[in-house]
Amino acid sequence: MRIYGGLLAGGAASRLGGVIKPLLQLGGLTLAEHAMAPLCGHVHRLLVSTDQHEAFAPLGLPTIEDGRAERLGPLGGLAALAQAIRRETADPFALLTVPGDTPFLPADLAIRLLENALPGTVRVAAFASHWQPTIALWPGETLAELPAWLDGGPENLSIRQWISRHPHESVEFSASPSAPGGDPFFNVNTPGELETARRHWATRER
């Protein structure tokens, strides 16, 4: 089975003034590059879910948009990525996703989510018993049902609800001294969180 990697980078970043959040700089790299680092060497190839094709071109990765006028959130990105992969191959696959605003992910993220994975089971990263639903391993056969589900309307946009409809398990990660507050899934949503990330990164480089 081929494992693909997907960067979910379609958010509006309204709390950061509408900037393209995954392309913000942290320690000489973009947030996106930091987020994708744990996937490198563990996936067949990486894809980016975004409608900002030109902005992401410097990353040198295929960009995929969901092609819908309405904002569908991460489920829209997942559906688009899965459809793009299916156009490439008829073979079984799984998709390992990370959001573009999580620069402190564990180095063993891919290894932990892939090991002992059961067919047809979604594996979701967790910290302190809390799901990180956009950081997960998705079986291709599960994602095949997603476009029809999204056609059901806005009540079907909850990624947690989607996971709960399928066989799933959580993979617990420990606190990390390399991340703000020990949270390996710390994400950047506000100017304050961006400053926290940069301040913490600076202490790591001393």
Per-domain residue ranges of the chain: 2-205
Reduce the DSSP state of residue 89 to 3 states and report it. Answer: coil
Between residues 155 and 109, the one the model is more confident about: 109
| Cross-strand pairs, 63 | 48
**Which helix (DSSP H) or strand (DSSP E) does residue 86 occupy?**
helix 73-88
Q: CB–CB of 79/164 below 8 Å? A: no
Lookup: tokens for 184: 């390996």
Give the Cα separation of 21 and 25 in Å (integer).
9
Give the Cα separation of 86 and 176 in Å (integer).
36
CA angle 198, 203, 206 (to 5 degrees): 125
What is the pLDDT confidence band of residue 195, given thresholds at 50, 70 and 90?
very high
Give the Cα separation of 100 and 60 in Å (integer).
15
| CA neighbor of 187 nearest in space, from 130, 142, 115, 139 | 130
Cut 0.85: pTM above it: yes
What is the pLDDT confidence band of residue 156, given thresholds at 50, 70 and 90?
confident
Q: Which residues contact 70 (CB under 8 A, 6 or more apart)?
A: none
2-205: in CATH 3.90.550.10: yes
Query: How many residues are listed for the chain in this entry?
Result: 206
pLDDT digits (tens, 9 = 90+) for 53-104: 999 999 999 999 876 656 778 999 999 999 999 999 999 999 999 999 999 9
